[in-house]
A and B are shown apart, each in its own frame.
Chain A
Amino acid sequence: MSCCGPATLALAAAPAAAEGGPSREEIVLASHRIGEGLWQTDLSVPAVHCGACMRTVENALGRIDGVEGARVNLSTRRVSVRWREAADPSAFVPTLAAIGYPAHLDDPAADERDETLSSLVRALAVAGFGAMNIMLMSVAVWSGAEAGARDLFHLISAAIALPTIAYSGRVFFSSAWNALSHGRTNMDVPISIGILIAFGMSLYDTVNSGAHAYFDAAVSLIFFLLIGRTLDHVMRERARTAVKGLARFAARGAHVVRGDGRQEYLPLSEIAPGMTLMVAAGERIPVDGEIIAGQSDIDCSLVNGESLPREAGPGTAVEAGTLNLTGPVTMRARAAAKDSFLAEMLRLMEAAEGGRSRYRRLADRAASLYAPFVHAAALVTFLGWMLVGGGWHQSLTVAVAVLIITCPCALALAVPMVQVVAARRLFEAGIMVKDGGALERITEIDTVVFDKTGTLTQGILALTNAGDIAPAELAVAAAIAAHSRHPHARAIAAAAQDRVRLAPVFDSVGEHPGLGLEATAGGHVYRLGRAAWALRDASGITGTVLSRNGRLVAGFSFADRLRPGAQQAVRALKAEGLRIVLLSGDRSDEVLRLAAELGITECAGDLVPGDKVAILAALAADGRKVLMVGDGLNDAPALAAAHASMAPATAADIGRNAADFVFLRDGLEAVPAALGLSRAAQALTRQNLALALIYNAIALPFAVFGFVTPLFAAVAMSSSSVIVVANALRLGRADGGAREAGRRVGRMSEARA
């Protein structure tokens, strides 16, 4: 195997990977029929990153009975599997996991290609074709073609420009019309007006054999602007698909037990209150409800931030999205999916999204000041020339020149170009950014609010007293613990992985859900689990213990591990003078302990999701701009309410979708890194806007006094665009070596996520 071996994958970070594959029913639900008895399933395989990986994955899937073929898309890290009805699709995910590529179901989206991108690229291709050919004609005209040839060239240019503008210009025309019809204005309004008037005027001059035509300016303007727009879209789409490809934490459906005992797998939307559901160990609870049979432990960390699993038996209420850890349970649904905890969070999110939707991007703010100014300048020029007796034709020609020379080509390219480059640099550092507005908003923040479980900590328990336990006893505990997926058992197994060979050979190992594990070896009965269950006399002892024949052998204590880089990140943010707040749904004493460890002075525990939003609202009312960093379902409303937000890749789906930034690496250094890069980008954006403004200030007088010929316009427009693009590319250039390293690490952590 090549470099892409499973050794580089830290599977523990993704709970989904350890839960075994989705059932056949769930896969069928997520697949679609492509005719002739063939089905297609899309799996997201984040670990695929080279040619050898593609071959390994395709061959492994191809060898499964009934699979017609598999094709990996390396760009989106997905594989589509085509299979005959007779095949067993539930073998896909375990097969991939066995060769070191954890996979999970993707939404059936193979057929819906990115239509916006296709149409943008088509428009760009047509505009490029038109611009190049018209420019060739124009060069001939500028070099002094005689009148007859000039008119012919103008006519051919017009014939090319008309369809080009009609086709490629639609992007701007429809956006400008949309803004105008809502009583707003944006960058596309002056662009559209400039293009249309320039084209109309040039057409008139062509028919009347005038000397100057601006076809080249109008079409190359479209071409330049489309480049910026397409790049912007590509980056955003890339981040979106990468985020979408991460594991889902909501169940897609559930096993429903009918009145006559029949079992049926129903999609989530068809589950009604009162239905009886079976939830196997390792599955997520699909809807809110109450357990009616079975014992288990429930992991709520993603839902409410509690770091320790909760014991569950008949009568326990469970929330949608929590993970059933140790034993199968039967539950009665109390609410439909749309009324469950998840939906409650969505409602809170909608209510909370206020401050962010009011934010206007820098480019739009600039445009709202700039557009009236440009139009006024053109109008004043026209009227001025009329007054001094220039005649309406010459007055209009000069006014068109003013419109073209001030057309915010550089301005419209200046901002998206910097943001595209910044998004790319962030991507290389393992951070996804949703849109350009987020890059601007994060630079304004003065307060950082952290969630605890899963954000400042990894959400994975670790054994803290391994040093106090005799190696042989720890080995016994680890060997038993390896049979369970309870977080305590996993922590013990992980702490003593290399000592398991010291353990005796067990005759039997069994799990008692909600209690612990029992193993027999050489006539001894070992129990690993709750003290009250494992010990004959458990007075005064609590927590998790290992017992032999009912007598205490060792006690274990656990703590949630800090996320790597948490200390450094908090220190770096403090050094920037930012106010740091810790808000958590976990118990207050846990929160206080962690806050003290990290040197955070402001903290609050035992919060329900509404409290977090209320605290953020209070901060906002104080005039604070808050960056929220969180991962749980309970953080999602707060993520939506904050001025800017960030979530780790391991966050719950809706949290990830609500966040502006998603970081794929384990380390929390991503927070100061994103902040630093966004600030650098913001500085460059301002520089670029200043450059564009200076260019306009210099060119405008020439245009107003009628010195601008089509040649002058073409040269000025192209050179100013090239300058702002070159300036944007300076972002992060200084540390080329570090960037290369960042790219490598980024790849590894993508694989890990």
Chain B
Amino acid sequence: MSDFFYLIPLSLGLGFVGLAVFLWSLRGGQYEDLDGAAERVLDDEDAPILPHGKSASSQC
């Protein structure tokens, strides 16, 4: 069993990385406008993938 003890710092380390990433994103203001972020994903400012006239972008 003691052969697997190295997994403990490993899992703790991974968990800590996750925590650090979350705190970083929180500080960066990524949770300020969750509703807006959900809509912005659908924003198609770039060139349309579908042929012209067949735009699939439905508005709300």
Contact = CB atoms under 8 A, between A and B. Distances in A.
Interface of A: 2-4, 49-55, 72-76, 113, 118, 121-122, 125-126, 129, 132-133, 136, 149, 152, 156, 160
B31 A121 contact: yes
Contacts of A50: 39, 59-60
B60 A54 contact: no
20 contacts: A51-B39, A51-B42, A52-B59, A54-B36, A54-B40, A54-B43, A55-B43, A73-B33, A73-B36, A74-B33, A74-B35, A75-B33, A76-B33, A118-B26, A121-B31, A125-B22, A129-B18, A133-B11, A149-B2, A160-B12
The 10 closest A-B pairs by CB, nearest first: A51-B39, A74-B36, A2-B59, A50-B60, A52-B59, A74-B35, A73-B33, A129-B19, A75-B35, A75-B33
Given A74-B35, A75-B32, A122 B60 contact: no
A230 to B, nearest CB: 12
Contacts of B18: 129
Given A2-B60, A118-B26, A132 B15 contact: yes
Nearest to A149: B1
A75 B34 contact: yes
Contacts of B35: 74-75
Contacts of A49: 60
A3 B59 CA distance: 8
A53 B43 CA distance: 11
A76 B36 CA distance: 9
B39 A54 contact: yes
Contacts of B1: 149
Nearest to B42: A51
Given A4-B60, A129-B15, A121 B39 contact: no
A3 B60 contact: yes
A51 B8 contact: no
B49 interface: no
A122 B36 contact: no
A55 B43 CA distance: 8
Describe B's contact surface by its main secondary structure: helix
B36 A72 contact: yes
Contacts of A126: 19
A577 B1 CA distance: 71
Interface string B1-22: 1100100100110011011001
A49 B38 CA distance: 12
Contact of B43 (A51, A149, A152): A51
B11 A113 contact: no
B51 interface: no
A136 B59 CA distance: 47
Contacts of A51: 39-40, 42-43, 59-60
B59 A73 contact: no
Given A121-B26, A152-B5, 7 more contacts: A3-B59, A49-B60, A51-B40, A74-B35, A75-B36, A122-B26, A125-B23
Nearest to B39: A51
B33 A125 contact: no
B19 to A, nearest CB: 5
B29 interface: yes
Contacts of A133: 11-12, 15
A129 B19 CA distance: 7
B16 A156 contact: no
Nearest to B41: A51
Contact of B11 (A4, A54, A72, A136): A136
Contacts of B22: 125
A133 B8 CA distance: 9
A149 B34 CA distance: 44
B9 to A, nearest CB: 9
Contacts of A53: 60
B4 to A, nearest CB: 10
Nearest to A128: B19
Contact of A113 (B5, B29, B43): B29
A4 B33 CA distance: 20
A76 B29 CA distance: 14
Contacts of B29: 113
Contacts of B23: 122, 125
Nearest to A129: B19
A512 B8 CA distance: 84
A543 to B, nearest CB: 47
A132 to B, nearest CB: 7
B35 to A, nearest CB: 4
Nearest to B29: A113
B8 A156 contact: yes
A52 B60 contact: yes
Q: Max chain A CB contacts within 10 Å: which of B5, B23, B26, B59?
A: B59
A132 B32 CA distance: 26
Contacts of B2: 149
Nearest to A126: B19
A73 to B, nearest CB: 4
B58 to A, nearest CB: 9
A47 B42 CA distance: 20
A160 B9 CA distance: 12
B44 to A, nearest CB: 9
